[in-house]
Amino acid sequence: MKALRIFFLARLPREKGLMLAFALLALLTVGSHVLGRSRALWTDWRSARADAATQQVWLEHADTISARSVAAAHRLEPAKTLNVTRLVGELSTLAVQSGVTADIGSQRTERTDQFAFHTVQVNLRRVDLAGLLRFYSALAARTPYIALEQFTVATERASPGQLNVSLRVVSVELAR
């Protein structure tokens, strides 16, 4: 340490100023990085704490949740539940009956002990409001076997009276 002090004091004032400036710049760079990482760690910790609290609530109410899902399963009619193939067919039929053109896209299935939830992405391009309302009404009539998970509407830029609609539709199927 003493050698560093002697080295520093032997420098010209201009060199001392530059050395201090570089040392401060290095300190600021490292400090900024440490501060950023500290904030990220703090955010991660708070998020993990919130997730743990949510999971604790779920665990505390596990019996109630399980009883409600069993009761819901008993209320469903197995003949009306849809697998993913029947869901796609039903959506196509509803679109034709409503007078809209549906582009049925990606499909995904999540399974639990009692249910299988099938998710399908549906896009309606250049549809008028009346056609959209007919399709929505037909879809709503199939509740609780078919439900909307996500619904996005945007106007068609080329023709202002028409809409582009993106739907994520979910169906429930009783596990065998």
Reported confidence tier of residue 70, pLDDT bands at 50, 70, 90 = confident
Instruction: Check if the beta carbon of residue 117 is closer than 8 Å to that of residue 170.
Output: yes
Q: For residue 143, is pLDDT > 90?
A: no
CA dist., res. 168 & res. 138, Å (int): 15
% of the chain with per-residue pLDDT over 70 = 99
- 56 burial (CB, 10 Å; 0-12 / 13-18 / 19+) is exposed
Q: For residue 176, is pLDDT > 70?
A: no
pLDDT at 64: 92
Q: For residue 84, is pLDDT > 90?
A: no
pLDDT digits (tens, 9 = 90+) for 24-69: 999 999 999 999 999 999 999 999 999 999 999 999 999 998 888 7
- Residues contacting residue 134 through CB under 8 Å, at least 6 positions apart: 97, 98, 99, 100
Reported as half-sphere exposure (CB side, CA atoms, 13 A), residue 23 has a value of 7
pLDDT digits (tens, 9 = 90+) for 97-138: 989 989 998 889 898 887 888 999 999 999 999 999 999 999
CATH superfamily of 78-174: Ribosomal protein S6/Translation elongation factor EF1B (3.30.70.60)
CA dist., res. 104 & res. 5, Å (int): 74
Instruction: Give the chain's end-to-end CA distance (angstroms, integer).
Output: 76
Stated pTM of the model: 0.60
Cis preceding-peptide flag for 13 (omega within 30 of 0): no
